[in-house]
Amino acid sequence: MGPLCAERWVVGPKTVLSTSHTESFFQSPTPISIGKVLLADDDPIFRHLVKTWLTRWNYRVSTVDSGLAAWELLQREDPAEMLILDGMMPGLNGADLCRKVRNQPNSRYRYIILLTANDHQRDIVAGLDAGADDYLTKPFDAMELRARIRAGRRILDLQEALLKAQGDLRYQAEHDALTGLLNRGAIMSVLHKEVKRRERTGGQLGVLMADVDHFKQVNDAYGHLAGDTVLREVGQRLTDALRFYDSVGRYGGEEFLAILPGCNPADLAASAERLRFIVARDPVLCHAGPISVTLSLGGACEAQPEIDESELLLRRADSRLYKAKTNGRNRVELAD
């Protein structure tokens, strides 16, 4: 490491940053977005200098003096997303640390810049093979470091955008566009999983099917926009009234399906009556005015895993729903 002097900042024999360029260089009109960087290098002067640059470039920086300390820091919550690692460090060198980072299961991608003391091709290839995304050979120019970091930042931003798009697509594939509840496929998947869980552990499982009474009349009298408001509000009230580990989805049209794990017949009856009451208690407010809404509910509960199937539960709940509708609606009917 070369000396720091009043006229120039130097890393080794190569000029890093002239004082005549300092003000314009650090006050870029397009600052880099804030991100977390972990710098691991056993040279304290080098760490201080590079941390100064990174901080002025609008990064949050953590520094350590060894590969083992860097690995320990990466195990903590919310670790850095970009790593700058010296190739030669005590305990755990940069290449070995790259391998450990890349071998972490189910972890977010981290962009790694490896610092090498020479430009031998075999060392560079070894570092890239170990999992580094880029490398810099010491001594290096500050503007080159900044450019490499900008490239890494673009990769990380792209990853973030892809993960968000992936999450959005998954949400859209599993949720009903109108109500925001699980769609038919997703709520059926929940039912199958809960049935399998019950087959392994025993326990009980309750299923409720609910139908908005006279929904066609709502559409005919108030219009389809009002009908959409009714469905959204009913879905929200059902969600609010269920336990946090219960699930509810839009089964189709004006029908909803609720899955209640660990629910015995008495609990199922109480839950169904609570849902019926909460939906009927207050009218739904929409542009056409208040609309009174009621639910008919049918339910089934099984306690013997060897006799249970998803279709059996659905058939029994659906038959009870039909009975509730034929017996006057706005009521609950449960299978024996």
Q: So which residues are the catalytic ones?
A: 254
Residue 89 is given by DSSP the state -
* C-alpha span between 257 and 251 (Å, rounded): 6
Nearest in space to 260 (alpha carbons), one of 206, 310, 333: 206
For residue 132, the one-letter residue type is: A
**Strand ranges (DSSP E) for the chain?**
8-11, 14-18, 36-40, 60-64, 82-86, 111-116, 134-137, 205-212, 247-252, 255-261, 284-286, 289-291, 295-302, 332-334
186 by Cβ neighbours in 10 Å (0-12 / 13-18 / 19+) ranks as middle
Rounded to 5°, angle at Cα 73 from 78 and 138: 110
